[in-house]
Amino acid sequence: MKEMERKLKLFVMDDSDIFRAGLAEVLIRGREDFELSGCGETSDEAEELCATAAPDVLVVHASVREMDKHLQIIDRIKKKVEGVRVLVVAEFTDIEYLLKIAASRCDGYVHSSVSEDSLVRVIQNLANDVYIFDRTVIDKVLLLQDERRNARRTEFSQRERRIVEMMGEGRSNAAIAKELNLSAGTVKNIISDMLKRNHFKNRTQLVNALLS
């Protein structure tokens, strides 16, 4: 007889007793491949319980008000529990908070409107090292990227844009200066000012920001 596969251990964190109980029930109801190893408020006490339970996936319902606290606890759990995957379930779509999640040690994010079947699939994928982020995050990050790129472009004068274009063509400061009837020192100063003004670390970042 084929040996049964090990159940996937889940731990649920949420500050609402009702939501926490409901989410836990949804995840294990009628499922033989999931096992609830524990649940609790997003607190230091639940953090220790989670570390002891050593789940495969930690599901955290996060709020904007407690976002920083939630991410700090998640970070500590990731350090304590080797291999644990963390899924954030949240109602907000604000770009700054979504970027915080994307930049944290979380392994996935879904909006709380996700269907039960989709949530189960996301957890299964996370357990298999497939990182999942709601399309909301991707769309908003791409939009923000475009907005910032366009804003940077408007910050360049026509002469500055021409200098960056020639930099993109691989021309030296001396070659740029000759074409624009400037001194090489003036070209160098203009480039340095653009780097400093736009917080770029090097010429490559400057060229990519304007020409991409």
CATH number of the CATH domain containing 74: 3.40.50.2300
Q: How far is CA 82 from the centre of its chain?
A: 20
Residues 104 and 186 occupy one common structural domain: no
Do both 40 and 80 map to the same domain?
Answer: yes
Q: How many domains does the chain have?
A: 2
In a domain, 56, yes or no: yes
- 149 vs 100, higher pLDDT: 100
For residue 97, being part of any structural domain is answered with: yes
150 belongs to a structural domain? no
Q: Which helix (H) or strand (E) holds 79?
A: helix 67-80
pLDDT tens, position by position, 167-191: 988 899 999 999 999 999 999 999 9
Angle made by CA atoms 194, 197, 202, in degrees to the nearest 5: 55
Identify whether 105 is part of a domain: yes
Which pair of tokens denotes residue 184? 């090489």
In a domain, 119, yes or no: yes
SS3 at position 1: coil
53 and 18 co-located in one domain: yes
Across residues 118-124, what is the average pLDDT? 89
Domain boundary among 90, 115, 141: 141
Asked if the model's pLDDT at residue 65 lies above 90, the reply is no
Model confidence at 149, pLDDT cuts 50, 70, 90, reads low
pLDDT of residue 90: 85
Per-residue pLDDT of 71-80, as tens digits, reads 999 999 999 9
Task: Report d(CA 177, CA 180) in Å as an integer.
Answer: 5
| Whether residue 137 sits in one domain with residue 160 | no
Q: Which residue among 111, 141, 171 closes a domain? A: 141
What is the percentage of the chain residues whose pLDDT exceeds 70?
87
In whole angstroms, give the CA distance from residue 157 to residue 54: 57
Please compute the mean of the pLDDT values over residues 29-38 and round it to a whole number.
87
User: Residue 1: what pLDDT?
Assistant: 36
Quick one: which of 13, 4, 110 has its CA closest to 53?
A: 13
Residue 153: pLDDT band (50, 70, 90) is low
**Selected residue with higher pLDDT from 137 and 79:** 79
Q: Which is nearest to 168 in space by CA: 210, 125, 128, 126?
A: 210
Same domain, yes or no, for 131 and 170? no
Q: Are 90 and 183 contained in the same domain?
A: no
Q: What is the pLDDT, as a whole number, of residue 145? A: 65
Burial class (CB in 10 A: 0-12, 13-18, 19+), 41: middle
Residue 198: domain span: 155-211
Q: Enumerate residues 6+ apart whose C-beta is below 8 A from 191.
A: 163, 167, 173, 203, 206
| 167 shares its domain with 104 | no
Whether 118 maps to a domain, the answer reads yes
Q: Summarize the confidence of residues 121-125 as an average pLDDT.
A: 89
Q: Is it the case that residue 2 has pLDDT exceeding 60?
A: no
Angle at 112 (CA atoms; ends 106, 117), nearest 5 degrees: 95
Please list the residues that pair with 108 across neighbouring strands: 87, 132
pLDDT for position 3: 43
Give pLDDT, residue 129.
80
- Asked if residue 85 and residue 176 are part of one domain, the reply reads no
166 with 105, same domain: the answer is: no
- Do 171 and 136 lie in a common domain? no
Contacts of 30 (CB under 8 A, 6+ apart): none
- End-to-end CA distance of the chain: give it in Å, rounded: 59
**CATH at residue 186:** 1.10.10.10
The arithmetic mean of pLDDT across residues 106-116, rounded, is 86
The Cα–Cα gap between 112 and 91 comes to 5
* Segment holding 21, helix H or strand E: helix 17-28
**Whole-number average pLDDT of the chain:** 84
Last residue of a domain, one of 141, 166, 198: 141
Whether the predicted pLDDT of 142 surpasses 90: no
Is residue 147 domain-resident?
no
Give yes or no: residues 15 and 52 share one domain.
Answer: yes
Q: Evaluate whether residue 148 is within a structural domain.
A: no
Q: Kindly state the average pLDDT of the residues 95-118.
A: 83
Q: Worst-scoring range by mean pLDDT, 14-23, 46-55, 116-125, 151-160?
A: 151-160
Q: Are residues 53 and 76 in the same domain?
A: yes
